[in-house]
Amino acid sequence: TYDLCNCKQRFLYQILSTAFLMYQLLMSCNKIQINYLKIIQCDFLYFCFRFRLSQLNCTYDNNYRPLHALFLPDIPVFQDGTGIPLQYWGVFDGHAGSGCAIMASKLLHRLIRDRLGDIAHLLENPSTAPPICLAKNGSPYQAEGKKGANAIQDPEEPDAITDPSIRFHTEKAVSLESLIVGIIENSFKQMDELIEKEKVSYAISGGCCALAAIHLMGKLYVANAGDSRAIIIRKKEVIPMSNEFTPESERQRLQYLGFLRPELLGNEFTHLEFPRRIQHKELGKKMLYRDHTMNGWAYKTIVEDDLKFPLIYGEGKKARVMATIGVTRGLGDHDLKVYNSNIYIKPFLSCCPEVMVYDLSKYQHGPNDVLVMGTDGLWDVTTDREVADAVSSFLSCCEPADPVRYTLAAQELLMRSRGVLKERGWRLPNERLGSGDDITCFVIPLSGPAGPET
State residue 138's pLDDT score: 66
* Statement: residue 349 has pLDDT above 90: yes
Q: State what percent of residues in the chain have pLDDT above 90.
A: 52
Q: State what percent of residues in the chain have pLDDT above 70.
A: 73
Residue-wise pLDDT tens digits, 204-250: 888 999 999 999 999 999 999 999 999 999 998 999 999 999 999 99
Residue-wise pLDDT tens digits, 307-341: 999 999 999 889 999 999 999 999 999 999 999 89
> What's the average model confidence in pLDDT over 128-155?
63
Of 145-159, 171-185, 283-297, give the lowest mean pLDDT range: 145-159
Question: In degrees to the nearest 10, what's the CA dihedral of 4, 7, 11, 14?
Answer: 30
* Statement: residue 28 has pLDDT above 60: no
State residue 140's pLDDT score: 67
- pTM over cut 0.85: no
State residue 76's pLDDT score: 38
The answer to whether residues 130 and 174 touch, using CB atoms and an 8 Å cutoff, is yes
Average pLDDT, the chain: 79
* Statement: residue 304 has pLDDT above 70: yes
State residue 204's pLDDT score: 83
Nearest to 136 by CA among 121, 154, 150, 151: 154
Indicate the residue type of 204: I
Q: Which residue has the higher pLDDT, 47 or 436?
A: 436
Question: Rounded to whole angstroms, how far apart are CA atoms 397 and 80?
Answer: 40
Residue-wise pLDDT tens digits, 274-295: 999 999 999 999 999 999 999 9
DSSP line for 233-287: EETTEEEE------TTTTHHHHHHHHHH-GGGGTTTEES-B-SSPPPGGGTTSEE
DSSP-derived 3-state class of residue 388: helix
State residue 425's pLDDT score: 79
Q: Is residue 43 very low, low, confident or very high in pLDDT (cuts 50, 70, 90)?
A: low
* Statement: residue 149 has pLDDT above 70: no
Of 67-71, 118-122, 131-135, give the lowest mean pLDDT range: 67-71
Indicate the residue type of 234: R
State residue 447's pLDDT score: 83
CA Rg, the chain, in Å?
Answer: 25
> What's the average model confidence in pLDDT over 124-140?
78
Residue-wise pLDDT tens digits, 414-450: 988 888 878 777 888 777 888 878 889 999 999 854 4
What are the boundaries of each domain within the chain? Answer: 7-124+174-245+352-445, 251-326
Of 173-177, 182-186, 251-255, 331-335, give the lowest mean pLDDT range: 173-177
Question: Rounded to whole angstroms, how far apart are CA atoms 381 and 362?
Answer: 32
Q: Is residue 27 very low, low, confident or very high in pLDDT (cuts 50, 70, 90)?
A: very low
Q: CB count, 10 Å around CB of 81?
A: 7
* Statement: residue 454 has pLDDT above 80: no
Q: What are phi and psi of 275, to 5 degrees?
A: -65, -25
State residue 33's pLDDT score: 35
3 state SS for 281-316: HHCCCEEEEECCCCCCCEEEECCHHHHCEECEECCH
Q: Which residue has the higher pLDDT, 189 or 20?
A: 189
State residue 143's pLDDT score: 54
DSSP line for 111-148: HHHHHHHHTHHHHT-TTSPPPS-B-TTSSBB-SSSPPP
Q: Is residue 157 very low, low, confident or very high in pLDDT (cuts 50, 70, 90)?
A: low
* Statement: residue 374 has pLDDT above 80: yes
Q: Is residue 383 very low, low, confident or very high in pLDDT (cuts 50, 70, 90)?
A: very high
Q: Is residue 141 very low, low, confident or very high in pLDDT (cuts 50, 70, 90)?
A: low
Ramachandran assignment for 398, one of left (phi > 0), alpha (psi -120 to 50 degrees), beta (any other): beta
Instruction: Report the topology of domain 7-124+174-245+352-445.
Output: Phosphatase 2c; domain 1 (3.60.40)
